[in-house]
Amino acid sequence: MSSKYEDVIIGLEVHIQLTNLKTKLFCSCSNSYRGTEPNTHVCPVCLGLPGSLPVVNKKAFEFATRLALALGSKINDTFWFFRKNYFYPDMSKNFQISQYNKAGGRAFADGGKITIKLNDKKIDLQLNRIHLEEDPARLVHKGSIATSPFTLVDYNRSGVTLIEIVSDPVMNSPEEAREYLKQLKSIVQYTGISDLDLEGSCRVDANISIKGHARSEVKNINSFREVERALKWEIQRQKNLLKRGKELIQETRHWDDKRRVTIGLRTKEFEKDYRYFPEQDLPPFKIEQKFIKEIKKKLPEMPKARIKRFQKDYGLSEFNAEILVLDKDIADFYEGGVKSQKSYQSEDYKQFCNWLKGDISRWLNFNNKSIKDTKLKPNQLRDLINFIKEGKITGKIAKSYVNEMMNGTELSEIMKKAGKKRIADMDIISSIVREVLSENQNIVEDFKKNPKALEALIGKCMLKTKGQLDPEKTRKTILNFIKKEKS
């Protein structure tokens, strides 16, 4: 942990939409509102019309149970929903149906933890609770919220199920918060309850304070990526005020992701302002042990177990296994590839991993895509790696194929195209090999002890010809020349 942040305290409230549910939390309107005309996925319940009554979506309890089990939280056997009263156009009935863990109320589940690794140190970050609530409507501003001349409201989102994961105030730096969210995202992905790559499927409120001073709550950070940035900005703001001898006030601030600053919207409401009371339109709910056991049985393999299995089955280091497993789609791709070839040995498992965490991940990051959005199939990557192993292409040439492969061109087609430009004339190859060997006597010496140095020599030949030499012929020519030199 950097000493820059040693007096910082951060707690996060993460709201995740259960996007994999079919319907909203209290009505039968469709959950998938993205890309639809505003205010078309609505009914009297999610519009909050007088006389309408909510009916709970039981599948939401199943999803919440999955997540609670995955996070090691204790599921409460009975709970009620509460009304959180407030006046704002995003909730037309003037209250949000939520949960409350005071006044006799209980959260859906209490406790749990998320383990992160930062600078090679494992840290357990304690959770406070998990609860279910309905999503408010979406407000659309023109430009920045602070200067927009109007606000539009779209009730399609109103009533979509949110699960809120509240951490204890246990994080001490923006980096810890970033790692916490990374692990949480991974766990959510494995439980199959939500697709967090969908826009607006997660929102974060962050409580930030400097030890001994009032805290501010930064609301509506609309993506996990923005959290670290927002936290850094807010910590700096608070520290600058303290440096100038000013005192901090408890307030709610808004993260403006266009200007990348937090802005004060109002001084913080206190809990009493929400006049929480039990939602009388819904009965108390009971979660039976039998129900929990059933779900536990069906719970897929979670990241921690998968990391252990990857180490055991494929001989990967803990570090490599963690990188692959973090994104379930990458881990599935890996297993799809390595399982398709029975003859794989430990070096092959490692090669496949290196390609995924190296060139493939770089391409995905650069293009801001996840592997399932690309056309690359596990068996294509397997073939590419095999061709390198068989000496049909060099590693360097293989790398130059990545972009086309990701965009869906078949490997055979890329190789055919490359073959047309290929130089197979033995006179040209011999003359280039002769040149390269005389210029790189140190590598030739190295080759006598380390056969892998051959790759470097092939690479040098390719460099001179923009990769156009026939790799197999080049390889043979180099070996012949070196053999002749020796004798």
Q: Which of residues 99-118 bind Zn ion (CB under 5 A)?
A: none
Contacts 24+ apart (CB under 8 A), 381-386: 381/333, 381/337, 381/352, 381/355, 381/356, 381/405, 382/337, 382/338, 382/340, 382/341, 382/352, 383/411, 384/355, 384/411, 385/348, 385/351, 385/352, 385/355, 386/341
Q: Which is nearer to Zn ion, 55 or 305 (CB)?
A: 55
Q: What minimum distance in Å lies between the beta carbon of 43 and Zn ion?
A: 3
Burial 306-332 (b: 16+ CB within 10 A, else e): bbeebbeebebeeebbbbbbbbbebbe
Give the torsion sign (CA, 404, 408, 414, 415): positive
Q: What minimum distance in Å lies between the beta carbon of 85 and Zn ion?
A: 21
Considering only the stretches 25-33, 57-65, 192-200, 467-475, report the one whose residues sit in contact with Zn ion under the rule CB under 5 A.
25-33
Q: Taking a C-beta distance cutoff of 8 angstroms, is the pair 325, 331 a contact?
A: yes
Q: Which is nearer to Zn ion, 38 or 111 (CB)?
A: 38
Cβ-Cβ contacts under 8 Å for 436 (sequence gap 6 or more): 457, 460, 461, 464, 478
Q: What minimum distance in Å lies between the beta carbon of 234 and Zn ion?
A: 36
Q: Which is nearer to Zn ion, 56 or 302 (CB)?
A: 56
Q: Taking a C-beta distance cutoff of 8 angstroms, is the pair 323, 352 a contact?
A: no
Q: What minimum distance in Å lies between the beta carbon of 158 and Zn ion?
A: 8
Q: Which of residues 233-292 bind Zn ion (CB under 5 A)?
A: none
Q: What minimum distance in Å lies between the beta carbon of 53 and Zn ion?
A: 12
> Per the structure block, which two tokens stand in for 135?
């999503």
Considering only the stretches 24-32, 74-82, 139-147, 462-470, report the one whose residues sit in contact with Zn ion under the rule CB under 5 A.
24-32
Q: Give the separation between CA 306 and CA 187, rounded to whole angstroms.
A: 12
Q: What minimum distance in Å lies between the beta carbon of 46 and Zn ion?
A: 3
Residues touching Zn ion: how many (CB under 5 A)?
A: 5
Q: What are phi and psi of 122, to 5 degrees?
A: -85, 135
Considering only the stretches 4-12, 23-31, 84-92, 429-437, report the one whose residues sit in contact with Zn ion under the rule CB under 5 A.
23-31
> Per the structure block, which two tokens stand in for 268?
């913080």
Q: Which is nearer to Zn ion, 26 or 401 (CB)?
A: 26
Q: What minimum distance in Å lies between the beta carbon of 28 and Zn ion?
A: 7
Q: Which is nearer to Zn ion, 138 or 268 (CB)?
A: 138
Residue written as tokens 């399609």?
156
Considering only the stretches 35-43, 126-134, 222-230, 247-255, report the one whose residues sit in contact with Zn ion under the rule CB under 5 A.
35-43
27 scored as a contact of Zn ion (CB under 5 A): yes
Q: What minimum distance in Å lies between the beta carbon of 275 and Zn ion?
A: 25
Q: Which is nearer to Zn ion, 67 or 160 (CB)?
A: 160
356 scored as a contact of Zn ion (CB under 5 A): no
Q: Give the separation between CA 405 and CA 408, rounded to whole angstroms.
A: 5
| Closest to 64 in 3D by CA, of 51, 81, 49, 48 | 81
Considering only the stretches 20-28, 148-156, 177-185, 465-473, report the one whose residues sit in contact with Zn ion under the rule CB under 5 A.
20-28
184 scored as a contact of Zn ion (CB under 5 A): no
Q: Which is nearer to Zn ion, 155 or 481 (CB)?
A: 155
Strand pairing report for 216-221 and 251-256 = parallel
Q: Which is nearer to Zn ion, 45 or 184 (CB)?
A: 45
Considering only the stretches 21-29, 86-94, 97-105, 418-426, report the one whose residues sit in contact with Zn ion under the rule CB under 5 A.
21-29
355 Cα distance to chain centroid: 20
Strand pairing report for 109-110 and 74-75 = antiparallel
Q: Which amino acid is at 442?
A: N
Among 9, 14, 18, 29, binds Zn ion (CB under 5 A): 29
3-state secondary structure of 162: strand
Q: Which is nearer to Zn ion, 29 or 202 (CB)?
A: 29
Q: Which is nearer to Zn ion, 31 or 65 (CB)?
A: 31
Contacts 24+ apart (CB under 8 A), 446-449: 447/482
Considering only the stretches 26-34, 131-139, 229-237, 430-438, report the one whose residues sit in contact with Zn ion under the rule CB under 5 A.
26-34
Q: Which of residues 37-76 bind Zn ion (CB under 5 A)?
A: 43, 45-46
Chain residues that interact with Zn ion, rule: CB under 5 A: 27, 29, 43, 45-46
